[in-house]
Structure 1
C-alpha cells in the first residue's frame, strides 16, 4: 500500500492463559497495551485522505473502551480462548473491518487494516487483513 494512516489508543485488561507454555501468565494478570490501527490504501479518496482520522479515533476508542477494565476471562465472547496479544490484535482488526464494511469509517478507499498491540517497549504483535 503506498498510503497508510495510523491512529493510536490504549487499553488495560485483565486475563489469564491456559497452557504450560504461558508459565506464570496462567494466573490472572493485567496488561496495558498501546494500540496502533493502520489503514492502507492504494490511493487517497476525492478529499485527498485515506481515512478520517477524527472518525477513526472515535471508532477505535469505542472498540478499545469495550475491552478496557474488563477481565477478559469473564467475557462470553472469549470463552475457551487464550486472549493473547495476537488474538486481541485480530479481534480489534476484525471489529474495525466490520465498521469499515458498514460505512462507519466514512470512506471506501481503505484496502487494509493492521492492528499492532505493544505489550512493552520490547515486545509487540500485529495482525493485518484486507478489507
Structure 2
C-alpha cells in the first residue's frame, strides 16, 4: 500500500468538563500538529497517491473552521467531548468526504498535542 502524508497545525481552545481530565476540565488552549496520510493500493496514472498540493489544500480547508476556534462552541463537537481522539476522527471523516473512495483506500490522521503524545485515527474508506 502506498501513502502520502502532509502536515499542518491549528490552535484551538476547548474544555473537557469531566473529572477524568483533571486540570484540562477548564477552558485551555492547545496547538495541535495534524498529519494526514492518504493510502491506496496502486498508484494512479501519474504514479502518485494524490497530488501533494491537492492533499495540502484538502487538509488546510478541513482545518480552517477549527483554527482559533473554541471547540466548546463548534457545532461539530456539540454534545461530545472534543478530545484529541474526537478531533482526529472529525478531520479524517471530513477529508474522506473530499476524495474518491474508489481510488483512496484509507485515510490516517495523526494529531500531536505534545511532542511526546499523539493520537492516531485510521479510516478505512471501503467500510464507510
Separation in structure 1 between the aligned mates of residue 116 and residue 45 of structure 2, nearest angstrom = 39
Question: CA separation in 2, counterparts of 1:9 and 1:95?
Answer: 15
Map residues 70-109 of structure 1 onto 2, 5 A cutoff: 70-101=69-100, 108-109=102-103
1:127 — aligned with what?
A: 121
2:111 aligned partner = 117
Where structure 2 has 5 or more consecutive residues not aligned to the other structure, the ranges are: none
Shift of 1:19: 1.1
Answer yes or no: is 1:66 the counterpart of 2:60: no
| SS at 1:119 equivalent | strand
Q: Secondary structure at the match of 2:48?
A: coil
Q: TM-score, normalised by structure 2?
A: 0.93
Structure 1 gaps, min length 5: none
| Paired positions, count | 125
1:12 aligns with 2:16: no
Q: For 2:74 and 2:86, locate their aligned partners in 1 and report how far apart those are by CA, in whole Å.
A: 14
> Which 4+ stretches in 1 moved above 2 angstroms?
none
Please give the per-residue CA displacement for 1:52-80, whole angstroms capped at 9, x wherever unaligned: 11011011101111101010101122122
User: C-alpha separation between the residues in 2 aligned to 1:43 and 1:76?
Assistant: 37
